[in-house]
Amino acid sequence: MAVSAPPPHAADPHDPRPALRGVFAALVEALRTRLDLAAVELELHLRALLRMLVWAVGAVACAMLALAFAVTALIVALWDTHRMLALLGGSLIFVALTATFVLLGMRTLRSQPGVLESSLQQLQQDQQRAGGDAP
C-alpha cells in the first residue's frame, strides 16, 4: 500500500502564517477603528471651534459698534467744553476692551483640550494592553 500525500487544502498545524495573518488583520482593524474615532473627534472639535468663532465675532462686532456710537454721542455732547477728554476717554475704553478680549481669548484657547487628546489616550491604553502592562 502506498502512502498518499496530504490533500493540498489541509493546513499544517505547525505553520504560524495563518495565526500571523489573523493578528495582522486584527491590528489593521483596530488601527482603522482608532483612525475613524480620531476623524470624528477632529470633526467635532473643528465644528465647535467654528461655532465659537462665529458667535465671538458677532458679539465683538455688535459690542464695538454700540460702543462706537456711545463714544460718538459723548464726544458730540461734550464738544464745546471737554472735547479732548471725551476723545481720550473713548480711546482708552477701546484699548481696555481690546486687552480684555485678548485675555479672554487666550484663556479660552488654553482651557480647550488638545486636538485628538482622547484618541491618543485610547491608543496609549491599547499599547499598554498589547504590551501586557496594566492600564
SS3 annotation, 54-104:
HHHHHHHHHHHHHHHHHHHHHHHHCCCCCHHHHHHHHHHHHHHHHHHHHHH
The half-sphere exposure of 45 on its side-chain side, counting CA atoms within 13 A, is 15
- H or E segment at 131? helix 117-131
Q: Choose the weakest-confidence range: 72-81, 92-101, 107-116.
A: 107-116
In degrees and rounded to multiples of 5, residue 49 shows phi and psi of -65, -45
Q: pLDDT at residue 107 above 80?
A: yes
Average pLDDT, the chain: 79
pLDDT tier, 134 (very low <50, low <70, confident <90, very high otherwise) = very low
Q: Domains of the chain: which residue ranges? A: 35-125
**pLDDT of amino acid 122:** 75
Cell of 63: 459690542
pLDDT in tens, 1-46: 555 555 555 556 677 777 887 888 888 888 888 888 888 888 888 8
pLDDT in tens, 46-91: 888 888 888 888 888 888 888 888 888 888 888 888 888 888 888 8
